Structure 1
Amino acid sequence: MENVTDRTSNPFGMRPPFERQDPGSHVAVFGYGDANADFHLIGDHPGIHGGERTGIPFTGTHTGNTLLEVFRELEFVSADRDEPLFSNLFANYVHMCCLRGGRVPTTGEYDELERYFDAELRAINAHILLPVGKHATDHILREYTTQRHRIELAMPQLHATEIRGRGFLIVPIREPSEWEDTDRERLRARLEAILESDYRQTKGVATRIG
């Protein structure tokens, strides 16, 4: 099903509960990009992956810029770093709200916003989920696969691999701030291989032919 919307920021009008935030920060970093994307980039929260100043996921920080440069090289991303345009790519966070001092959300705060994240993920209905970092990867594997109990959450080993989910193909991404020599190229090579294949979703099961 195609989403009919020309909104690139918060296309489904999510309104989670906000708290007071630091001066100059957005109340939240809403989902952003192509609402009909095949690729869905998933971060943790604005304090770690950016966007508190710009309002756009994975912008305004070295970590975010490092990651989006890989997607820019593959023509998912264009235009200015702080106001990028996404093509066939949607990005959001497990916890979208900006918290004072960029602190880590509590377990209760993650739980409170989980339903908003889940609703947006299902509305986008992308083929490829790309969780960034340990927390986002853990959440996606627990909620959208039956394999979490069999997978050790070792991000250096999981980085840029393929994991079958319930209707999705999942490609975990190691925190860009922790990337070593080959991590950038491993991610780029994996994305190129997916793009060059005939990826599609059939009867709710993500498959790749090629």
Structure 2
Amino acid sequence: MTHLTDRRSNPFGLTPPFDRSDESAVPAVFGYGDPNADFHVIGDRPGVHGGSTSGIPFALGRRETPLTSLLRSVDFLSDDADGPHLDDCFLSYIHMCTLPAGTEPTADSYARLERFFDAELRAVNAHVLVPIGRRATARVVESYTTRRTRIELDMDALHATEIRGRGFLVVPLADPDRWDESLVARASDRFESILSSDYRQTKGVATTVG
């Protein structure tokens, strides 16, 4: 599928029900990047993974982090006059709306935003899903694989492993603030291995999922 848009942020024009946010925060941190990407990196929410000020998931472009270093190492991330540029990679959150500092979203809040994340995931229609952290991994494994009851959510053990999903290859990563040199190397090696393979054979029809 080819998306006729050059918008990096919220290319699909989602309009979720915004939660109350701090005055300095954006109402929501929408998906960002290449809408035709083969790799979809999925985080929890702005309060956990950043972006409530910049409006870009994982606060991309604000500072160099282990995640941005990984994305640069596999040529997904570069910079231009308009800011961070992603090629073949899209970033988004399962809970895109922001909340006041110190406020935790409820289960109902996650459920209310579920259809917006699903719509974004189906629109991108990536081959490889890369959930980051325990909550995003649980959501992706439960919704897009048949193995939720057979997988222990030990993120250090799951980090940079491959899980065959229902039309997707799922590659979970631990939270980047926990990465040491060994976890960075495992993630980099896994991405390089996938990129050198015929990973597109793992893809099914995403619109039939769910």
Structure-2-length-normalised TM-score: 0.91
1:171 alignment partner in structure 2: 171
Query: Structure 1: which 5+ runs fail to align?
Result: none
SS in 1 for 2:92: strand
| Inter-partner Cα distance in structure 1 for 2:96 and 2:128 | 20
The one-letter amino acid of 1:142's match is E
Distance 1:61-1:132 versus aligned 2 partners, 3 A rule: farther
2:113 alignment partner in structure 1: 113
Aligned length: 205
| Inter-partner Cα distance in structure 1 for 2:60 and 2:25 | 12
Identity of aligned residues (%): 55
1:110-189 pair list within 5 angstroms: 110-189=110-189
Aligned 8 A contact 1:41 1:129 in 2: yes
SS in 2 for 1:16: coil
| Inter-partner Cα distance in structure 2 for 1:164 and 1:40 | 15
In the TM superposition, what whole-angstrom CA distance separates every residue of 1:136-187 from its partner, at most 9, and x where no partner exists?
0000000000001111111010000000001000000001111233000000
1:45-84 pair list within 5 angstroms: 45-59=45-59, 65-79=65-79, 83-84=83-84
1:40 aligns with 2:40: yes
Q: Quote the RMSD (CA, aligned, Å).
A: 2.1
The one-letter amino acid of 1:84's match is P
SS in 2 for 1:84: strand
Structure-1-length-normalised TM-score: 0.91
| Inter-partner Cα distance in structure 1 for 2:86 and 2:148 | 30
1:9-24 pair list within 5 angstroms: 9-24=9-24
Distance 1:41-1:64 versus aligned 2 partners, 3 A rule: farther
